[in-house]
Structure 1
Amino acid sequence: MKGRHRSAGSSGGALKLGAATVAVLVVLAGSWYAFRKYSQPSCGNAAKLSIGAPADIVPALKAQATEWSERAKVGHNCVDIEVFEEDPADVAAALAGKANKALTGVGQANGKTRIPDVWVADSSLWLQRLHAADAQSVPADAKSIALSPLVLAMPEPIATTFGWPQKEITYPDLIGKVATDQKVKVGIVEPSRDATGLGGLLTLAAAAQAAGGGDATQATQAATAALRALAAGRSSLRADLMQKFPRGGDATALSGGLSVAPLSEQAVIQYNGQQPPVRLAALYAEPAAPALDYPYAVLGNDKASIANELLKSLDSQGFRDKLGAIGLRGADGTAGKGFQTPANAPAALAAAQPPDAAAVEGLLTKWQAITLPARMLAVIDVSGSMLEPVPTAGGATRMQVTLEAARKGMSLFDDSWALGVWVFSTLLDGNKDYKQLVPIGPLASQRTQCLQALSTIQPKRNGDTALYDTILAAYKAVQQGYESGRVNSIIVMTDGENDDPAGGLSLEQLIAELKKTADPAKPIQVILIGIGNKVGEAQMRQITDAIGGGTFVAPDPAKIGDIFLQAIALRGQGAQPK
């Protein structure tokens, strides 16, 4: 018993000693922690960095930024990184607006749009378009941090009719199918504001152009038909487009739903991940369309050091795995852990070189011309100077190149358009300086009439240019039959300054009369196109600035076709009087 008693006493002493030891260790650990905390440099104020990116990549960026910032320091400062969602089109519009520029079809930025320190757009096409508009607005180049190839998304039962998954599909295959099978319904997200839509538009339009072979007329017709087919199935938002795919596998559902649309590989992966009634096939068609490549653009120099340090961490397997979990590939085209590879997908992909910026804007102007419903009065100068030959057009006259531009432009307008044709000079119709050839009416019923009228136009050899009186008369004519829901506009093509021997309106009188006539509830765009180097550009700009619209000048009349398309595209910019 005594031994057990001593043992118990020894045990109690040992417990006390152990507790004391633990207490000492705790105190020492706390002291060491305090020593470490206060002997090391203070964190100081947090260095902040904001990153704006599309919803597609935000989850991976947030996770990586949080992980990196927990151990990162800049000098004595910790790093606080905010990653937020921002529509690339809105950021692009905001950056363009800062430089007093506008991108075709993009319009104004959302009033809540933030310009971040680092902009991760979904495609380099945005940087290219901005750089072409204003070289200072964005960096000339930016490193890609992720990749999602553009595919043709197609319900699997329909894809099998194209030979999927065994056969390699080409864009010409699709063009041929669309041209011969009315059951094939093509969709697209508005390409002027969506990179997947733009990439698909560029590739499909090029394939259609090539389908015309060496015949320029056939090539133009094929490309126009393709653009019209896309326009008929366009959606403003990607989510809306996805809802158009068939919700059932029976013949009725398949024929009533969307057949095919250019989308990102990620969009197809995420759609199928929701277990839809009909899965989508991802067709990796040739030639490859411009992929979403997620460029990392540092805007400004004040946060460049932090931004560039974070960028280094985005070139890691850890970030690639985070991308893979949300259906994106690494910048080199390889997939990280968790990536759900679609059937028949290449193991690795590389971003294709984006097309020339001028080609992009040129195609978007055509797209705008086709897609915006319009009611337009075309007014063409037939004064004597329109007989002058154009050396760069093989000796064709100014009148001839202008009429050819008008004919080509009209070929882009579908039957939903309303169009009228006037000509003007001096004393063309009694005492009037202008003459109506075709009243404004639907092209569905008077396309042939308009084309015939263009073919009969001849310059008045000794005629002058009563420009101001004609503009006012045309404005009133368009206003009289105004149609809501359409872009009501006047397009005047002239090669000279106002020159009316009978007097007529002065510039100041014209502007005053236009302002007095204008009705804010019935906005009318006045689009003036100057042909050659003798136009009164300054006076023309005063008119369009005052009443709303735009002035375009083609010093080389041979370029009037390109200028005509740019002018038509203005209808989507919402020009207002200044």
Structure 2
Amino acid sequence: MKGRHRSAGSSGGALKLGAAAVAVLIVLAGSWYAFNKYSKPACGGTAAKLSIGAVADIAPALRQQAADWAEQAKQNGNCVDIEVFDEDPADVAAALAGKAEKSLTGVGQANGKTRIPDVWVADSSLWLQRIRAVNPQSLQAGAHSIALSPVVLAMPEPIATASFGWPNKNISYADLVTKVATDQKVKVGIVEPSRDATGLGSLLTLATVAQQAGGGNQTQATQIATAALRALAAGRSSVRSDLVQKFPRGSDPAALGSGLTVAPLSEQAVIQYNGQQPPVRLAALYAEPSAPPMDYPYVVLSADKASMADELLKQLNSQDFRDKLGAIGLRGADGAPGKGFQTPANAPGALAAAAPQLPDAATVEQLLSRWQAITLPARMLAVIDVSGSMLEPVPTAGNATRMQVTLEAARKGMSLFDDSWSLGVWIFSTLLDGNKDYKQLVPIGPLVSQRATALQALATIQPKKNGDTGLYDTILAAYKAVQSGYESGRVNSIIVMTDGENDDPAGGLKLEDLIAQLKAAADPQKPIQIILIGIGDKVGEAAMKQITDSVGGGTFVAPDPAKIGDIFLQAISLRGQIAQPK
């Protein structure tokens, strides 16, 4: 019994010693933790700050890499404070353009909460190109791509397999254009191209392919391109999250038939969508010719932070950052994937790292103008000058008259307007309808019922030989006519095409009288745009600007009348950005 007692006592002592040892270890561990934590080199002075505004697609990887770099800097006795925040590229682009009092087609003004960061990471170099076109001084030369995600055609896997032989075969943009133009069962979607680089890049590619599809026949090419644009417009979404919700939620024929058939998206978007285990997975089809990829340019906006930004950029060229990108479905800047990248079926393991081939800024803006013309619902009165000077030939247009090039621009523009538009047509000179300088050819009405009538009216227009230009009386009458039938939910506007200054031998309104009466008639609750297009080099541009500035709208001048078609499209695009009275 004593032995057992001693044994018990020894055991109790051992337990006490063990407990004490554990306690000592805990204390030592805690002391080591404290020593390790506080013996690290301390940051000296105030932390150097750097703000990075990044598109949400890449922001998580940037935050992680910035935090790692900040910790490394701290180990070396330096303090850096890096803030990475999500910022919509369209808003930053709008803010940068706004510094030069310019705007980007379809973008308008920046969100009131938009910040211009020290470093900007957009999703595509297309944004940089668009900004430099309107405000060349806003961006420093040179931008480094830090990631890559190709633009693919996303399609429900059952449809991709049955209709296009995926994954053994791929689809081309030419195939897609043909399908869209000929098969009404194909439901194609797109994220709003004026505010989304994926949408814009794919729209540029589709438009180019559609234009080539005419086989040299310009009329047929335009018809195909217009059909493709209209189909895209019908399936457009403001943001990507809304678009992907349109894909079918079931694999049965009814669900597949009623859902979205195909939409251009980034490879990353498809990877992330499939990662959510949806009822129907998406196939990523790497179509040719490839659309400009998402190349995530790293742009320094604050010159005094350039040195710090360059140091961080070195970290973004590392394998460590490539692996962080791979975890969120992005490739490295050279097109090679990092660890954790979920490569879609039929995808290339690595992509060419060459800089994306971007169309010139004028091509981009012209296409977006066409897009705006198609997508924005409108109620418009077109007022066309038929004074004698419209008979003058245009050497740069094969000596076609000013009247002929103007009417051709109007016809092409009208072909873009879908049946939801309302349109009316007036002509003006002097004394066209009794004592009136203007005459109504077609009252404002829906194109669904009077498109043929409007086209026929355009075909009958002839200049009035020796007719003068009763511009001011016509503008006031047109303004009041549009105002009398104002329709909310539409852009109500007047578009006047003229090749001369106001010239009314019978008297009529003076400039100051017109402006005063327009201001008196204007109703802020029912805004009406006046869009004035000057044709040739003898228009009164200064007076025209005074008119449009007084009640809202815009003045556009084509010194070379042969360019009236481009100017017309540019003017139509203004409808989405109502210029306020000045």
Q: Which amino acid aligns with 2:324?
A: K
Name the residue aligned to 1:517. 521
Name the residue aligned to 2:98. 97
Deviation of residue 168 (structure 1)? Answer: 2.3
Structure 1, unmatched stretches of 5+, are 1-17
1:501-524 C-alpha deviation (Å, 9 max, x unpaired): 111111111011001111111110
1:270-303 C-alpha deviation (Å, 9 max, x unpaired): 0000000000000000000000000000002111
Name the residue aligned to 2:291. 289
Measured at CA, do residues 346 and 461 of structure 1 come closer, stay the same or move farther in structure 2, by a change above 3 Å?
Answer: same
Name the residue aligned to 2:400. 396
Work out the CA distance in 1 between the residues paired with 2:434 and 2:33. Answer: 103
1:418-472 C-alpha deviation (Å, 9 max, x unpaired): 1100000000000000000000111111111111111111111111101000000
Name the residue aligned to 2:545. 541
Measured at CA, do residues 29 and 548 of structure 1 come closer, stay the same or move farther in structure 2, by a change above 3 Å?
Answer: closer
Work out the CA distance in 2 between the residues paired with 1:177 and 1:33. Answer: 65
1:80 paired to 2:84: no
Q: Does structure 2 retain, via aligned residues, the 8 Å contact 1:415–1:444?
A: yes
What's the secondary structure of 1:71's corresponding residue? helix
Q: Does structure 2 retain, via aligned residues, the 8 Å contact 1:47–1:74?
A: no
Deviation of residue 355 (structure 1)? Answer: 1.8
Work out the CA distance in 2 between the residues paired with 1:74 and 1:442. Answer: 70
- The number of residues matched between the two structures is 562
Name the residue aligned to 1:349. 351
Question: Of 199, 203, 211, which residue of structure 1 is paired with 2:205?
Answer: 203
What's the secondary structure of 1:303's corresponding residue? helix
Deviation of residue 33 (structure 1)? Answer: 8.7
1:75-102 C-alpha deviation (Å, 9 max, x unpaired): 9751110001011111111111111110
1:245-268 C-alpha deviation (Å, 9 max, x unpaired): 000000100010000000000000
Name the residue aligned to 1:187. 189
Q: Does structure 2 retain, via aligned residues, the 8 Å contact 1:190–1:235?
A: yes
Name the residue aligned to 2:374. 370
Q: How does 1:100-115 map to 2 (within 5 A)?
A: 100-115=101-116
1:215-265 C-alpha deviation (Å, 9 max, x unpaired): 111111111111000000000011000100000000100010000000000
TM-score (norm 2): 0.93
Q: Which amino acid aligns with 1:326?
A: I
Q: Which amino acid aligns with 1:227?
A: L
Measured at CA, do residues 390 and 68 of structure 1 come closer, stay the same or move farther in structure 2, by a change above 3 Å?
Answer: same
Q: Does structure 1 retain, via aligned residues, the 8 Å contact 2:42–2:74?
A: no
What's the secondary structure of 2:303's corresponding residue? coil
Question: Of 444, 450, 457, which residue of structure 2 is paired with 1:446?
Answer: 450
Q: Does structure 2 retain, via aligned residues, the 8 Å contact 1:107–1:574?
A: no
Name the residue aligned to 2:124. 123
What's the secondary structure of 1:419's corresponding residue? strand
Q: Which amino acid aligns with 1:271?
A: Y
Q: Does structure 2 retain, via aligned residues, the 8 Å contact 1:131–1:140?
A: no
What's the secondary structure of 2:563's corresponding residue? helix
Work out the CA distance in 2 between the residues paired with 1:402 and 1:555. Answer: 13
Name the residue aligned to 1:11. none
Question: Of 486, 508, 517, which residue of structure 2 is paired with 1:482?
Answer: 486
Deviation of residue 150 (structure 1)? Answer: 0.2
Q: How does 1:65-464 map to 2 (within 5 A)?
A: 65-72=66-73, 77-160=78-161, 161-350=163-352, 352-464=356-468
Work out the CA distance in 2 between the residues paired with 1:522 and 1:244. Answer: 34
Q: Give the RMSD, CA atoms, in angstroms.
A: 2.6
Q: Which amino acid aligns with 1:188?
A: I
Q: Which amino acid aligns with 1:254?
A: L
1:473 paired to 2:477: yes
Q: Does structure 2 retain, via aligned residues, the 8 Å contact 1:528–1:550?
A: yes
Work out the CA distance in 1 between the residues paired with 2:93 and 2:435. Answer: 51
Deviation of residue 367 (structure 1)? Answer: 0.2
Deviation of residue 577 (structure 1)? Answer: 1.0
Measured at CA, do residues 574 and 377 of structure 1 come closer, stay the same or move farther in structure 2, by a change above 3 Å?
Answer: same
Deviation of residue 42 (structure 1)? Answer: 5.3
TM-score (norm 1): 0.93
Work out the CA distance in 2 between the residues paired with 1:31 and 1:381. Answer: 84
* Identical residues among aligned pairs (%): 80
Measured at CA, do residues 357 and 140 of structure 1 come closer, stay the same or move farther in structure 2, by a change above 3 Å?
Answer: farther
Q: Does structure 1 retain, via aligned residues, the 8 Å contact 2:315–2:321?
A: yes
1:359-391 C-alpha deviation (Å, 9 max, x unpaired): 111100000011001110000001111111111
Measured at CA, do residues 63 and 424 of structure 1 come closer, stay the same or move farther in structure 2, by a change above 3 Å?
Answer: same
Q: Does structure 1 retain, via aligned residues, the 8 Å contact 2:42–2:78?
A: no
Structure 2, unmatched stretches of 5+, are 1-20
Deviation of residue 574 (structure 1)? Answer: 2.3
Q: Which amino acid aligns with 1:293?
A: D
Deviation of residue 66 (structure 1)? Answer: 0.2
What's the secondary structure of 1:136's corresponding residue? helix
Name the residue aligned to 1:8. none
Q: Does structure 1 retain, via aligned residues, the 8 Å contact 2:478–2:494?
A: yes
Measured at CA, do residues 42 and 444 of structure 1 come closer, stay the same or move farther in structure 2, by a change above 3 Å?
Answer: closer
Name the residue aligned to 2:10. none
Work out the CA distance in 2 between the residues paired with 1:465 and 1:456. Answer: 19
Q: Which amino acid aligns with 1:275?
A: Q
Q: Does structure 1 retain, via aligned residues, the 8 Å contact 2:43–2:79?
A: no
